[in-house]
């Protein structure tokens, strides 16, 4: 299965720039009703993901005037390359509701959601029923 068939492209995904303020990030998070959102550098490369909890802890520790790059937890929700195996996507979807996808240059191209993976696997299982013994 090709990851492209599961991909929600960048143009259809809400994301933040790493130099936006905490307030800007929270406003966009609330507007879209997300609990986590990808963060990009100005060159379009994937920097990380911030969650509601990340925002909360930052507000408690540092205040709301900080840039988003100070909120991102290292290693949280790393991106996968466009040629990732389905097994890796499924394993990652067990821990995250979406998986960021980058191209060979590290540029953010979109996300694969847990929901899209489940839908695709369900369709595949319906179309290919198990053989009877």
Residues 6+ apart with CB under 8 A from 75: none
Q: Does position 24 have pLDDT exceeding 50, yes or no?
A: yes
Mean of all residue pLDDT scores within the chain:
89
pLDDT tens per residue across span 93-105:
999 999 999 999 9
Residue 80 has phi, psi (to 5 degrees) of: -115, 155
pLDDT level of residue 133 (50, 70, 90 thresholds):
very low
Higher pLDDT, residue 60 or 76: 76
Interval 27-49 mean pLDDT: 95
Lowest mean pLDDT among 17-21, 58-62, 127-131: 127-131
Residue with the larger pLDDT of the pair 77 and 131: 77
Distance between CA atoms of residues 130 and 101, nearest Å: 31
Confidence of residue 69 (pLDDT cuts 50, 70, 90): confident
pLDDT category at 82 given cuts 50, 70, 90 is: very high
Site of tokens 């060979």:
104
**Could you give the CA distance from residue 9 to residue 112 in angstroms, rounded to a whole number?**
9
More confident of the two residues 107 and 61? 107
The residue-averaged pLDDT of 87-112 equals: 94
Mean predicted confidence (pLDDT) in 62-85: 87
């Amino acid at each position: 299965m090709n990851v492209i068939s599961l991909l929600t492209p960048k143009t259809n995904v809400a994301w933040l720039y790493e130099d936006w303020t905490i307030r800007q990030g929270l406003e966009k998070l609330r507007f879209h009703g997300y609990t986590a959102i990808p963060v990009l550098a100005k060159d379009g490369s994937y920097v990380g993901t911030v969650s509601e909890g990340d925002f909360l802890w930052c507000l408690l520790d540092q205040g709301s005037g900080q840039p988003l790059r100070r909120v991102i937890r290292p290693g949280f929700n790393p991106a996968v390359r466009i040629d990732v195996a389905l097994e890796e996507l499924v394993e990652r979807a067990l821990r995250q509701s979406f998986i960021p996808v980058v191209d060979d240059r590290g540029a953010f191209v979109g996300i694969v959601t847990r929901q899209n993976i489940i839908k695709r696997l369900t369709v595949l299982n319906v179309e290919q029923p198990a053989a009877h013994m």
